[in-house]
A and B are shown apart, each in its own frame.
Chain A
Amino acid sequence: MGAIFRRELKAYFTSPIAYIFITVFYLYTATYFVNYNVYYGLTDMSYVFQCAFNILMILLPLLTMRLFTEEKRQKTDQCLLTAPVNLFSVVMGKFLAATCVFLCAIAVYAVYAVVLFGLSGYLAWATVIGNLAALVMLGASFIAIGLFVSAMTESQVVAAIISFIIIMFFFMIDMLSGIVQVEWLRTVMVSLGFYSRYAEFSTGLFSVPNIIFFVSIIFIFNFLTVRALEKRRWA
């Protein structure tokens, strides 16, 4: 796991992808931060946290799209899968590497918080930390989804688009629940919604069930990735 994690992380930073990812993320969130917190003088960072959802929905599939597709295309998966390591640690190595790049990106929130504290002299630290925890969970969920999709296809573009669609599905599903008349189905749809669960944190509400929900999503998709790799061997 360690070897794969280190290799993957290095690969991110030797190619432009990690830099592009981080730069775009900084620019996008900084725009919100400067607008709402610096310009309008809000001491509440909830807008800056909420905006991350949209940009990560687009950026994270781009970060994860090559994780397994490239291995297959270059046949390097033959090296990984014939080495004495289990599939779970292969998947975890890659998952953690992508998560690590993602953490580098969201580390900028600490800077925002400090700047805001400096400007206003006041900050609800607990809320900010709770929000950050939620953001980590959200991003890791997106990464788990993207990783799963990349194990299913050999094309990076297809992987990016499909991951985006799946994330979009989890984003839209609770919005669509309004038009559904069946009670139980609506409950399911609402409870699957990523956005409402994530947005809840930015209102200052730290909800353990929501954290558990995201952890479950991460676990399920990483598990599916292992199964997808396993299945390919049996095909």
Chain B
Amino acid sequence: MIEVQNLTKQYGAKKAVDSLTFTVNDGEILGFLGPNGAGKSTTMNMLTGYISSTSGKALINGVDILDDPINAKKNIGYLPEIPPLYLDMTVKDYLNFVYDLKKCKIPRKAHLEDVCGLVKITDVYERIIRNLSKGYKQRVGLAQALIGNPPILILDEPTVGLDPKQIIEIRTLIKKLGKKHTVILSSHILPEIQAVCDRVIIINKGKIAADDTTENLTKNITTDYRLIARIDGAREEVLKTIKGISGVISVSADMEREKGVYDYEIETKEDADIRRELFKRVAARNWIILGLKSSEMTLEDIFLKITMDDSFELKMKKSSGYKAETASADEEKSSAEENSGKTADENSKEAEE
């Protein structure tokens, strides 16, 4: 559990991070999203005790990182933006060094084998880090963070510079880790956050611009509600029928998809849900709905809106259901506990491989 209260970092007159307040619950995967220079890395460096905050507090499992750094740091595994690797060491020496540095109590050999199996670096275990590819270096960095099984993982742009296959592997791994650890992940890549995280904090210019689940973000922020229905039926008739449904503001058909099949873009009032009514009316005329989807804003749209437009930020803050979010995070936690036994088996199986 990480509690951050009014965390601020000031460099001269510039506030790199401006009174951030948020909580990360156990077993949650939190995404930090923001353009370059938004303060993501600075925040992470403060959480891990690498740099100190100008003001504010960061509690790691209830321990203040500035008051009792050693006990706070015991709970954290940190992968900085650039993996902190000693290039002249072998992977084996390096991981043993980190093991000693963190004063681990877990049996050494088995633990290192577990970690290497988990991040799939067993085949480069004896090699010198300098000669490894970027993807392997990143994974050794991740292994370093995992040593000692810290309950909290802080990963700063873990997939930067990797090829698509490696990115997917690392993402899968992070999701897996999220079942046993609390994870904070930063990225400026939106699909990544969407794929991995339960909750997103969007940071812009050192401030929190949004704090919500990925779903809620895409759902709540849509200012106008849009549906796209693909219907097999006479075009003009269909248009007329849809217009007749209450709550519909406008409807338009675009190009013919198949013979007699069009996509109809329907704009409705904000709280109107016309899907059932639409189905009934279309079915009554013996037309067929081939597809129906709400054209939500993608996270990308939201991100751009939030980071470009300051007025949007205020509206966002109001709509974010933070209280509801905490409850759902607890559910996640309990389900994570159920899964943890299974994942441990999986891990050891992989280690054997």
Contacts and interface: CB of A to CB of B under 8 A. Distances in A.
Interface in B146-201: none
A81 interface: yes
Q: Which of B11, B51, B98, B101 is packed against the most chain A CB atoms within 10 Å?
A: B101
Contact of B84 (A6, A7, A75, A234): A75
Contact of B97 (A7, A14, A86, A233): A7
A107 interface: no
A141 B194 CA distance: 55
Contact of A84 (B71, B80, B97): B71
B76 interface: yes
A209 B89 CA distance: 43
Contacts of A74: 84-87
A234 B54 CA distance: 8
A78 interface: yes
A78 B80 contact: yes
Given A81-B49, A84-B74, A233-B52, A14 B88 contact: yes
A78 B103 contact: no
Nearest to B70: A84
B144 interface: yes
A72 to B, nearest CB: 11
Nearest to A3: B100
Q: Which of A6, A77, A233, A235 is packed against the most chain B CB atoms within 10 Å?
A: A233
A6 B71 CA distance: 24
Interface residues of A, number: 25
Contacts of B49: 81-82
B82 interface: yes
Interface in A32-81: 74-81
A187 B82 CA distance: 51
Contact of A11 (B69, B88, B100): B88
Contacts, number: 74
A84 B93 contact: no
A86 B86 contact: no
B73 interface: yes
Contacts of B89: 7, 10-11
A3 B37 CA distance: 34
B97 A75 contact: no
Contacts of A77: 84
A233 B86 contact: no
Q: Which of B51, B73, B87, B100 is packed against the most chain A CB atoms within 10 Å?
A: B100
A79 B52 contact: no
Contact of A233 (B51, B71, B84): B51
B108 interface: no
Given A3-B97, A10-B93, A234-B52, A79 B71 contact: no
A222 B82 CA distance: 28
Contacts of B101: 3-4, 79-80, 83, 85
A18 to B, nearest CB: 13
A78 B69 CA distance: 14
B322 interface: no
A78 B73 contact: no
Given A2-B100, A3-B101, A6-B100, A81 B50 contact: yes
Interface of B: 11, 45, 48-52, 69-71, 73-74, 76, 78, 80, 82, 84-89, 93, 97-98, 100-103, 144
Interface of A: 2-4, 6-7, 10-11, 14-15, 74-86, 233-235
19 contacts: A3-B97, A4-B101, A6-B97, A6-B100, A14-B88, A74-B85, A78-B50, A78-B78, A78-B84, A79-B98, A79-B101, A80-B84, A82-B76, A84-B73, A84-B74, A86-B69, A234-B51, A235-B11, A235-B51
